[in-house]
Amino acid sequence: MFDRALTFLAKIKGLVGQRRADVAFDEEMNTHLEMLAEKYQREGMTAREAIRAAKRQFGNTTLLRQRQRESRTTMFFSKVWRDVRYGTRQLARTPVFTIVCVLTLALGVGANTAVFSVMHAVLRKMLPVQDSSHVFYLHTTGYPDGASQTGDSDTSFAYPMYQALREQHGVLEVMTFIPMSSSGKTSIRVGTVPEEAAGDMVGGNYFSGLGVGTELGRGFVQKDEDDHTSVVVISDSFWETHYQRSHDVIGKTLYIKSVPFTIVGVARKGFEGTEGRLPLDFWIPLQSRPEFNAWGNPAEYGMYLTTPNKWCMKLMVRTAPGISREEGLARAQGIFARVAYAGVAPKHAGDETYKLSFNEAKQFDSQDDSFARSLKVLMMMVGLVLLIAMSNVVMLLMARNASRQREFSVRIALGAGRGEMARQLLTESLLLVALGGAAAWIFALGATRALGSWAHIQSNLQPDGAVAWFTLGVLLLLALVFGLAPLRRAMSSGPEMVLRSSSTVSHTSSQKVRAGNAVIVTQIAMCLVLLVGAGLLLGTLRNLLKTPLGQKPEGLLVFGVQPQHAHTKEESIAFFVALQQRLRTIPGVQSVSMAGNRPGSGWSDNNAGVLVDGHKPKGVEPEQANYRHNTVGPDYFRTMGVQVIRGRDFSDADSSTAPKVLIVNETFAKKYLGTLNAVGHVLSNSKGLEPNLIVGVVKDHKYTSITEEATPMIWDVFTQGDAVSQLNIEMRVPNDPMAMLPTVRKMIAQIDPDLPLMEPMTQSAVFEQSISQQALFARLAGCFGVLAVVLIATGLYGTLAYRVSRRSAEIGVRMALGAQRLQVVWMVLRGSLSLTAIGVALGIPLAMAAGMQLESSLYGMKALDIASYMFAILGVAFVALVASAVPAGRAASVDPIKALRLE
Amino acid sequence: MAADKSEVLQGTLDLMILKTLQALGPLHGFGIARRIEQLSEDVLTLNEGTVYTSLLRLQQKSWIASEWGVSENNRRARFYSITQRGLNQLAVETENWERIAAVIGRVLALEAKA
């Protein structure tokens, strides 16, 4: 055994320096021959005789040299290399076949891998924390009346809950993390330029409890939380982008909301926080300064640490070793029942009991369903495309190898070994799959990134290697099975096959034709499903783009501003009033206003409870009177390009000391006042307090998104409303809004050098982004539809062309016997058209079933949209016609004399 | 090639070369061929080139080693010498050979009696 290993090693070593070894051996042989000749000469032979005798005695030198070379090293590699070269030549000889196969594999496998990887990341991937199966996000089904919370109601808890859970040593360890603002981002400054970065305030045990180490420096300790120290841990990618991975980053100062923090550590690479889609740049210990209130909320309504009814802390737990998930949850539920009502009225008998739940520590907690659903639909489409692609490759391989029957027979007749032939065919298949695989991986890299950015997942997304390997493995298996199938036939029929006339053996068996037909029918059915799906989704996109917004987002620049030094409501109002005045002075700016919630971003304040002039609003119970709400600035509707149909826009005169005013939309006026003439009426809350005068009625327009239905809506002006910590500035400019950005930045820097512009973009882009998911979804579906059509076309064309070429003798005979060219063409077309008809008939019910699944993703469309179905059916029929036209033409141009002579 | 001369059994050549190198010390291929020719007294015949196939095989198993040197008549030649592993192997092979030879001898003697 050991000897064999040594021999093998020696042979491997022999791979290098083959030439040198050859030269050395030649020298050795020559010396030997010369010495032998000398010996014979000494024994009395003539010089010539001696040389001949020596050669005779030594044996065949060429053969010996060859043997020596073979045993010196392993022949395996050179044989494989020969097969690879031969295979490459074979593939290069049929470039169309090769390119079609490789592209088919690349698109099929690549798209599959990309979609699956994103799905995996979204639905499966666990946080990169230690022993993640024991770590859970804490969720609740609700919160008691009187508690104020942040909007993320199922993940928000109050400080007493956190405190109580902290005492459960031995059962649970609780970690808390609080976003710096509702967008998750806040203003920071590394050098001189302020920017926005995402960060969380976390408990002292955040890193140790999760089991996340550091690349550099330290994580937090309990003292950091207790003393609210001004230290910060940055993420690995922030370290890279802002400090170029410099090791003296520890001890440097990072300004967060103008407050200096000392960098004490860099978190382990790959850990990007526990906020799901949003990768975090930094973490700081829980802070007690008013400007660091949870979620960036104004401290006026209470700091999160001291206000027991403020539900704003996100919690994660780690169950202690030996404690099951159920035991941990039971303990947490018990504590929750005890502390949930801290700071609010105690629970009434009969009130709903709020239930806690432990959610697995996945990378993306509480993913919104629409996204997962879109991914699943996409996955189904990709699956269909992959099926079509695979059956195509298989059919192409089969057709190609069947037409090589003659080549195989000749090679067997010339003495090729079965092993050799099999190895060579396998090499060819492997080569094809390897090429396809490489192309697929490149495609998957790009596609995964594109899908990730579509989903707004900025976390480290990579194509999933396991998926790629699995898909490739299946393809490989298919390639092997179908690559070798013709060989078996060639073997069993033996070399004499080549001697027979090709037409006698080549007319395909009816069984094979039926199998081919079944594949084509299935492909056409699947193609129809894909085309109907694509049609529905593209129709949806068209409807979305055509929907009137009721405003003019073109020419509007929007950016968020968080005043750093405004600690009270008055300071904040003064800041924004001054800011508006300053921005108005920029040359070219037509008007400036602001909005609490950026239109088109999906955010909205949703309220209920209103009295009109002290009465029920037109028969609706006051508590049931729902409406959306936004806080805006003077000139808002003029700036946004919304038509004011009654009364007036907000103006600078609507100051904090002026009478409180409101503007409502058409729907609100009609629904709750019964008339568009709402100006002059007074709205108050359901208790009849806080009266506001309606001063204007505006036309309905889109607020949260393009797809929203017209909803009753109220606007108030920020100078008279609740305190705001951030406003979005809307600026109307004559040209490209983004061109105005540098000027604006300069002006803002003069006001406060620590003030970044948050998410600056054009207002059009905000609306575009709001449908980016649907748009990409529709475009991808369209791509898959086109892809399927192309695949069907190539598959159909390949199969028909192959059949026609095999039947040319038969066609020749038919024509010799008087068949007209038209009849021949019809014969071919009839075949493919009847296949298409069967495929369509099978595909329609499938498409209807698939359409039902899509229903919720559609906008302005019905699942049974006749146009989409007609488009799909005509598309498939057209493709079938085009794909069969060339083979049909070829059949018609068969020269009967030639065809018969060839046999 | 005379019909009454035995073909060299596969494997026996390896053993002969090992023994030759053990007995005579480092030798080049020509010398090994001469030694075998001499010892076999023309009973065994072989193409001398075959020696090199055997030498390569032995070298790959690390039973012998080789280095370039100068032959007695001032030619550059590759000298082969037996290694420690080769010596061990020679002992094993010799024992095997003797046992088999003894068995065969007994069997043949038995047949002669019958």
Cβ distance of A29 and B52 shorter than 8 Å: yes
pLDDT score, position A636: 96
Predicted confidence band of residue B10 (pLDDT cuts 50, 70, 90):
low
- Please give the residue of chain B at the shortest CA–CA distance from A24: B78
The average pLDDT across A449-471 equals 69
N-term to C-term CA, chain B: 35
Predicted confidence band of residue A530 (pLDDT cuts 50, 70, 90):
confident
A365 against B91, higher pLDDT: B91
The average pLDDT across B83-96 equals 90
CA distance A64 to A62: 5
Tracing tokens 């996409």 back to the chain, one arrives at A378
- B39: domain range? 6-113
Diameter of chain A measured on Cα atoms? 141
The average pLDDT across A76-85 equals 79
A853 close to A497: Cβ distance less than 8 angstroms? no
The average pLDDT across A645-661 equals 93
Residue A567, Ramachandran bin (φ over 0: left; ψ between -120 and 50: alpha; else beta):
alpha
Q: Which residues of B touch A28 (CB under 8 A)?
A: 29, 52, 77-78
Q: Is the pLDDT of residue A660 over 70?
A: yes
Q: Is the pLDDT of residue A587 over 70?
A: yes
pLDDT score, position A128: 84
Predicted confidence band of residue A770 (pLDDT cuts 50, 70, 90):
confident
User: What would the two tokens of residue A377 be?
Assistant: 């639909």
How far A59 CA sits from the closest chain B CA (Å)? 5
Q: Kindly compute the dihedral angle of the four CA atoms of residues A509, A511, A517, A520, in this order, to the nearest 10 degrees.
A: -100
Whether B61 is in a domain gets the answer yes
Predicted confidence band of residue A432 (pLDDT cuts 50, 70, 90):
confident
**Across A124-138, A159-173, A487-501, least confident range:** A487-501
Q: Enumerate residues 6+ apart whose C-beta is below 8 A from B102.
A: none
pLDDT in tens, A536-575: 888 988 898 888 999 999 999 999 998 877 778 888 899 9
If one counts every other C-beta atom within 10 angstroms of the C-beta of residue A314, the result is 24
The average pLDDT across A471-492 equals 69
Cβ distance of B60 and A7 shorter than 8 Å: yes
User: What would the two tokens of residue A655 be?
Assistant: 């100051």
Q: Is A849 on the interface with B (CB under 8 A)?
A: no
Q: Which residues of A touch B73 (CB under 8 A)?
A: 35, 38
A42 against A76, higher pLDDT: A42
CA distance A577 to A719: 8
Cα angle vertex A823, ends A818, A827, to 5°?
Answer: 125
pLDDT score, position A286: 94
The average pLDDT across A796-800 equals 76
pLDDT in tens, A150-199: 667 788 899 999 999 988 888 889 999 999 887 788 889 888 888 889 99
CA distance A493 to B5: 47
Cβ distance of B77 and A28 shorter than 8 Å: yes
Cβ distance of B59 and A10 shorter than 8 Å: yes
Q: What is the mean pLDDT of chain A?
A: 84
A599 alpha-carbon distance from chain centroid: 26
Predicted confidence band of residue A203 (pLDDT cuts 50, 70, 90):
very high
Whether B1 is in a domain gets the answer no
How far B109 CA sits from the closest chain A CA (Å)? 36
The average pLDDT across A367-377 equals 67
The neighbouring-strand residues paired with A762 are: A557
What's the DSSP call for residue A266?
A: E
Q: At A215, is the secondary structure helix, strand, or coil?
A: strand
A105 close to A389: Cβ distance less than 8 angstroms? yes
pLDDT score, position B83: 92
Q: Is the pLDDT of residue A368 over 60?
A: no
pLDDT in tens, B24-37: 889 998 888 888 88
Q: Which residues of A touch B72 (CB under 8 A)?
A: none
Q: What is the SS3 string spanning A627-672?
A: EEEEEECCCHHHHHCCCEEEECCCCCCCCCCCCCEEEEEHHHHHHH
Q: Which residues of B touch A38 (CB under 8 A)?
A: 73
Q: Which residues of A touch B32 (CB under 8 A)?
A: none
> Burial level of A786, CB count in 10 A (0-12/13-18/19+)?
middle
Q: Is A624 on the interface with B (CB under 8 A)?
A: no
Predicted confidence band of residue B5 (pLDDT cuts 50, 70, 90):
very low
pLDDT score, position A151: 64
pLDDT score, position B48: 83
A385 close to A784: Cβ distance less than 8 angstroms? yes
Burial A558-575 (b: 16+ CB within 10 A, else e): bbbbbbbebeebeebbeb
Please state the domain count of chain B. Answer: 1
**Across A315-324, A622-631, A653-662, least confident range:** A622-631
Q: Which residues of A touch B78 (CB under 8 A)?
A: 24, 28
Q: Which residues of A touch B50 (CB under 8 A)?
A: 59, 64
Q: At A168, is the secondary structure helix, strand, or coil?
A: coil
**Most confidently modeled range among A132-136, A712-716, B53-57:** A712-716
Q: Which residues of B touch A70 (CB under 8 A)?
A: none
pLDDT score, position A658: 92
Residue of A290, A200, A187 lying closest to A566 (CA atoms): A290
Cβ distance of A32 and B33 shorter than 8 Å: yes
A436 close to A101: Cβ distance less than 8 angstroms? yes
pLDDT in tens, A831-884: 888 989 999 999 999 999 888 888 877 888 888 888 889 989 998 888 888 888
Cβ distance of A31 and B56 shorter than 8 Å: no
pLDDT in tens, A7-22: 777 777 776 777 788 8
CA distance A276 to A458: 9
Cβ distance of A59 and B60 shorter than 8 Å: no
A289 against A457, higher pLDDT: A289
Query: Which H or E element spans position A231?
Result: strand A231-234
pLDDT score, position B111: 62
**Most confidently modeled range among A73-77, A228-232, A290-294, A443-447:** A228-232
Q: How far is CA A453 from CA A119, A233, A458, A460, A761, in A?
A: 13, 26, 7, 11, 17
CA distance A525 to A729: 52
- Please give the residue of chain A at the shortest CA–CA distance from B37: A57
Q: What pTM does this model have?
A: 0.63
Q: Is A35 on the interface with B (CB under 8 A)?
A: yes
Residue of B10, B13, B30 to mutate, testing the A interface (most A Cβ within 10 Å of its Cβ):
B30
Tracing tokens 């007609």 back to the chain, one arrives at A870
pLDDT score, position A642: 95
pLDDT score, position B4: 41
A106 against A643, higher pLDDT: A643
Predicted confidence band of residue A386 (pLDDT cuts 50, 70, 90):
confident
Q: What is the SS3 string spanning chain B?
A: CCCCCEECCCCHHHHHHHHHHHHHCCEEHHHHHHHHHHHHCCCEECCCCHHHHHHHHHHHCCCEEEEEEECCCCCEEEEEEECHHHHHHHHHHHHHHHHHHHHHHHHHHHHHHC
Q: At A366, is the secondary structure helix, strand, or coil?
A: coil
What's the DSSP call for residue A290?
A: G
The number of C-alpha atoms within 13 Å of A239 and in the hemisphere containing its C-beta is: 26
pLDDT in tens, A105-122: 787 778 778 877 777 776
Q: Kindly compute the dihedral angle of the four CA atoms of residues A155, A159, A161, A165, in this order, to the nearest 10 degrees.
A: 100
Q: Is the pLDDT of residue A436 over 80?
A: yes
Cβ distance of A36 and B52 shorter than 8 Å: no
Q: Is the pLDDT of residue A591 over 80?
A: yes
How far A41 CA sits from the closest chain B CA (Å)? 15
Q: Which CATH number characterizes residue B39's domain?
A: 1.10.10.10
A406 against A744, higher pLDDT: A744
Q: At A497, is the secondary structure helix, strand, or coil?
A: helix
- Please give the residue of chain A at the shortest CA–CA distance from B58: A7
**Across A81-85, A475-479, A553-557, least confident range:** A475-479
CA distance A23 to A17: 10
Q: Which residues of B touch A11 (CB under 8 A)?
A: 60
